[in-house]
Structure 1
Amino acid sequence: MSPSVPPAMDRPHFIGIGGAGMSGIAKILAQRGARVAGSDAKDSDTARALRALGVTVHIGHDAAHLAPDATCVVVSSAIRAENPELAAARERGVAVVHRSDALAALMAGTRPIAVAGTHGKTTTTSMLAVALTALGLEPSYAIGGDLDAPGSNAHHGGGEVFVAEADESDRSFHTYSPEVAVVLNVELDHHANYASLEEIYDSFLTFAGKIRPGGTLVISADQPGAVELTRRVREAGGPRIVTVGESGSADLRVTRIEPRGLTSEVTVLLPGADGGPLTFTVSVPGRHYAHNAAAALAAGIAIGAPARELAAALATYTGVKRRLQLKGEAAGVQVIDSYAHHPTEMAADLEAIRGAAGDARVLVVFQPHLFSRTRELGAQMGAALALADASVVLDIYPAREDPVPGVTSELIIDAARAAGADVTAEHDKEAVADVVAGMAKHGDLVLTMGAGDVTDLGPRILARLDA
């Protein structure tokens, strides 16, 4: 066993090992020399990538999958108590470890950068990981999405920096003690765990309080929730703060964002002695991605990376799966995949595509994610869809939730139509490719949008268009 593997995690078993967060931790442990096993509901490219590293991946959940010598069972908040492997672990007295505690254990002895926020975590974490790697700093990283291939969401590096996505949804980011923390934005979401925006503020304030002595909080100077959190952190006598944004008061100020097709050129003024203008390329379109890159730049500077070299290295980031990812083109129609599932994200991605698409029509296939989110934010989701030329709205993807009476995608469809949107309801996911093929014309852009399995529809739509 490698000394960098915590002894209690020498023989871990992951329930739901194919998930973005779980697979990353499993990959790092395997790269460090642990004997990793796990299970998932279905086979996937991620599962196959883990097997290539020597990880044992079972398909389906069964108590028999838990090895006799398992030292712990790793779970996320999505794993239900009745899962047979979890029940077997408890019956046998095997330690049950939450995903966030496992990740925190991997960060021990490193200089962590933890990226938090309601939106943009995966992109910003990816930008940092790619740029620091390009500089030869060999960071370890754990990201909530794949960079360019299945299994590329995590890596055990030889350097001292560890870049991690910090999830606020279940308060698991309270587990981390970063040297640098990034807060991109603060909005009400995750309604099953937070009853109010005030609870969200308290949670992020706790996260900021976990920053190591002498560490830095990098936070948006523009987004209202982040501005309010900054006030509260300062009032509490918190850590050093570096604000980032277009506001004139920002420490690292974004002075220009120039769209260039599916990329942007961004100019910033750096804080302190390095305050001269610095221009770099962001290889994804949209103002919010430019702000993500600026936050990544500020975080990298805070950890000690040279500013100008880091800015140039950010141009090596070419995107992450499901974040405005081009899936292909057929019959003159481009199909792009978007992970956006919160109204702010939906509007931001649609505005970014609008800016890049020129006069092209933008068609959206949207799958709402979670009953609780749809109940609270369905009207705003419908308003966001009014930014598209036409939309197809699917049934709600339940993920870990049970249905809620009266909560359906009709809440979104009614709101979208009230905002003047052209919306088609489609309850049969298998019929979507035919529906979109009937709508799309040469030159159109189609966005598959949502955090569920709507991503599977991109290749089907392309195949139908090709036919």
Structure 2
Amino acid sequence: MAPGIPTALDRPHFIGIGGAGMSGIAKILAQRGAKVAGSDAKESGTAEALRELGATVHIGHAAGNLADDATAVVVSSAIRADNPELVRAAELGIPVVHRSDALASLMDGLRAIAVAGTHGKTTTTSMLAVALTDMGLDPSYAIGGDLAGPGTNALHGEGDIFVAEADESDRSFQKYDPQVAIVLNVELDHHANYASMDEIYESFETFARKIVPGGTLVVNADQGGAVELAQRLRGEELLNIVTYGDSAQADVRVHKITPRGLSSEVTVLLNGKFLTFTVSVPGAHYAHNAVAALAAGVALGLPAHNLASALGTYTGVKRRLQLKGEEQGVQVIDSYAHHPTEMTADLEAMRGAAADARLLVVFQPHLFSRTQELGQEMGEALALADASVVLDIYPAREDPVEGVTSALIIDAAKAAGAQVTAVSDMSAVPDVIAGMSRPGDLVLTMGAGDVTDLGPRILARLASPADK
């Protein structure tokens, strides 16, 4: 039987309860029997799903949303100090708990697998959650995206395993004490919180040192930052390090990846034996994520053959190369990619899966700070598409930065030989894509902001009897 509710979270109030990370914790607490409440900026399917679990969800932020008997107010790093509910919590003397502390408390007493890295966390965590469920282990999990099958980002299971996505963006992953941790990659990102690669490495080292004594760190043997991290940790006592990847020195070596349309067949060399299994999403990037999941499960003591077979049941995460539909011979696919490495991986995956198709991208940059630092690389990534539409920057939690606009990306893309169109008005995008596309094309809506809302609108426009 899994643990119950931490006393401090018996009646929690979540500010921003609809967020990917916050909603997952709220769902698990509600499933464990907590009296959950919270607020979010707008109505959503997530808010309704929480209500169905018994949670009270207010739309809009107001001091009156916070009940006097709340035992804690849960916040993420995105919540500003002047939020009226946070101000009210201080007046009432209600403790404020960061979401990472809340998640850490939910993992107490369970065998935890924490998945970290600059990108690929959601996919890898999801693969583990689906595979362990298929094996009948009934895990708990908290993920940054909704699974395509169960349609949820979190679940309270009765088993003794908890799989969690570990977010490095605000150093919150340093709160966890996993038995097994995965580091997929280590790259400079989240520039508002990290000034250099040295700070990034220090943060990941702190995370790795929180692994329980005798636990295992699973590291990508092919990515420079992850390799550097492993080298820095080699002298740590009571920490087992397992590497995976194409490298001949990898402990779990990728022997071969064979594309099979929108899936892949993967063969690995593990403990001196070859093991072949299917990954039901396209691209080498996702195949490697599956191998990382395999290595982590084996480190936890699970049988490799059973786990490999179960990994084949994973069918994707919403917003991770998710097919939204097809109209007039044009497929529309949604991608959460917003870092240049992610963008490149998804574009290459689609190229491999549909080599004869034209690839059209609608890209929305995410954050001024990220665009300022990585705009050049974003533009170069877009050169992998046949044509791109670039929207204005989605600010999320940030204020504008003078001189930082989508033009940084557009100029870099054009310099790399890409065909790019700048569109500031999102409502104009469906008409623009309808005019550009033809039967057989693939259209990717790409980014971490509200660009995802364009998929259905583009499909509706393509289906319109009006002339393109």
TM-score, normalised with respect to structure 2? 0.98
What's 1:62 paired with? 62
Q: 1:286 aligns with which of 283, 287, 304?
A: 283
* 1:442 correspondence with 2:439: yes
* 1:375 correspondence with 2:361: no
Moved over 4 A (4+): none
Aligned residues, how many? 463
What's 1:393 paired with? 390
- Aligned to 1:125, what secondary structure does the other structure show? helix
- Distance across 2 between alignment mates of 1:459 and 1:233: 47
Alignment-mate amino acid for residue 133 of structure 1 = T
- Distance across 2 between alignment mates of 1:417 and 1:152: 39
- Distance across 2 between alignment mates of 1:68 and 1:93: 10
CA deviations on 1:292-337 (whole Å, 9 max, x unpaired) are: 0000001111111110000000011000000000000001000000
What's 2:292 paired with? 295
- Distance across 2 between alignment mates of 1:242 and 1:3: 29
Query: Shift of residue 149 of structure 1?
Result: 6.7
150-159 vs 117-126, which moves further: 150-159
Alignment-mate amino acid for residue 171 of structure 1 = R
Shift in alpha-carbon separation, 1:238–1:377, aligned structure 2, 3 A: farther
Query: Shift of residue 238 of structure 1?
Result: 6.2
Q: Is the 8 A contact 1:46 1:150 kept in 2?
A: no
Alignment-mate amino acid for residue 196 of structure 1 = S
Alignment-mate amino acid for residue 128 of structure 2 = L
- Distance across 2 between alignment mates of 1:254 and 1:358: 23
What's 1:20 paired with? 20
- Distance across 2 between alignment mates of 1:309 and 1:116: 24
Alignment-mate amino acid for residue 365 of structure 1 = V
- Distance across 2 between alignment mates of 1:176 and 1:204: 12
- Distance across 2 between alignment mates of 1:151 and 1:48: 13
CA deviations on 1:190-227 (whole Å, 9 max, x unpaired) are: 00000001110111011110000010000101001111
- Aligned to 1:464, what secondary structure does the other structure show? helix
What's 1:121 paired with? 121
Shift in alpha-carbon separation, 1:432–1:402, aligned structure 2, 3 A: same
- Distance across 1 between alignment mates of 2:299 and 2:425: 49
Q: Is the 8 A contact 1:286 1:352 kept in 2?
A: yes
Q: Is the 8 A contact 2:3 2:108 kept in 1?
A: no
CA deviations on 1:9-55 (whole Å, 9 max, x unpaired) are: 00000000000000000000000000000000000011111111011
What's 1:322 paired with? 319
- Distance across 2 between alignment mates of 1:241 and 1:254: 17
- Distance across 1 between alignment mates of 2:152 and 2:418: 38
- Distance across 1 between alignment mates of 2:3 and 2:228: 42
What's 2:360 paired with? 363
Alignment-mate amino acid for residue 313 of structure 1 = A
Q: Is the 8 A contact 2:214 2:238 kept in 1?
A: no
Alignment-mate amino acid for residue 447 of structure 2 = G
What's 2:173 paired with? 173
What's 2:259 paired with? 259
Query: Shift of residue 236 of structure 1?
Result: 4.2
- Distance across 2 between alignment mates of 1:321 and 1:179: 28
- Distance across 2 between alignment mates of 1:151 and 1:36: 21
Q: Is the 8 A contact 2:104 2:176 kept in 1?
A: yes
145-154 vs 202-211, which moves further: 145-154
Query: Shift of residue 148 of structure 1?
Result: 2.4
Q: Is the 8 A contact 1:100 1:172 kept in 2?
A: yes
- Distance across 1 between alignment mates of 2:386 and 2:231: 40
Alignment-mate amino acid for residue 94 of structure 2 = V
- Distance across 2 between alignment mates of 1:343 and 1:300: 29
Q: Is the 8 A contact 2:329 2:441 kept in 1?
A: yes
- Aligned to 2:163, what secondary structure does the other structure show? strand
What's 1:33 paired with? 33
Shift in alpha-carbon separation, 1:137–1:407, aligned structure 2, 3 A: same
Query: Shift of residue 237 of structure 1?
Result: 4.3
- Distance across 2 between alignment mates of 1:7 and 1:235: 38
Q: Is the 8 A contact 1:8 1:72 kept in 2?
A: yes
- Distance across 2 between alignment mates of 1:142 and 1:359: 38
- Distance across 2 between alignment mates of 1:435 and 1:344: 27
Which aligned pairs between 1:342-353 and structure 2 lie closer than 5 A?
Answer: 342-353=339-350
- Distance across 1 between alignment mates of 2:150 and 2:458: 22
Query: Which runs of 5 or more structure 2 residues have no equivalent in the other structure?
Result: none
Query: Shift of residue 391 of structure 1?
Result: 0.1
* 1:100 correspondence with 2:100: yes
CA deviations on 1:112-164 (whole Å, 9 max, x unpaired) are: 00000001000000000000010011110000000027861000000100000
Query: Which runs of 5 or more structure 1 residues have no equivalent in the other structure?
Result: none
Q: Is the 8 A contact 1:185 1:223 kept in 2?
A: yes
Shift in alpha-carbon separation, 1:203–1:169, aligned structure 2, 3 A: same
What's 1:404 paired with? 401
Alignment-mate amino acid for residue 228 of structure 2 = E
- Distance across 2 between alignment mates of 1:238 and 1:307: 23
Alignment-mate amino acid for residue 145 of structure 1 = G
* 1:73 correspondence with 2:73: yes
CA deviations on 1:328-372 (whole Å, 9 max, x unpaired) are: 000100000000000000001000000011211000000000000
Query: Shift of residue 235 of structure 1?
Result: 3.6
- Aligned to 2:243, what secondary structure does the other structure show? strand
* 1:11 correspondence with 2:11: yes
* 1:183 correspondence with 2:183: yes
- Aligned to 2:234, what secondary structure does the other structure show? helix
Query: Shift of residue 91 of structure 1?
Result: 1.3
TM-score, normalised with respect to structure 1? 0.98
Shift in alpha-carbon separation, 1:221–1:421, aligned structure 2, 3 A: same
Query: Shift of residue 286 of structure 1?
Result: 0.7
What is the RMSD computed on CA atoms of the aligned residues?
A: 1.0
- Aligned to 1:46, what secondary structure does the other structure show? helix
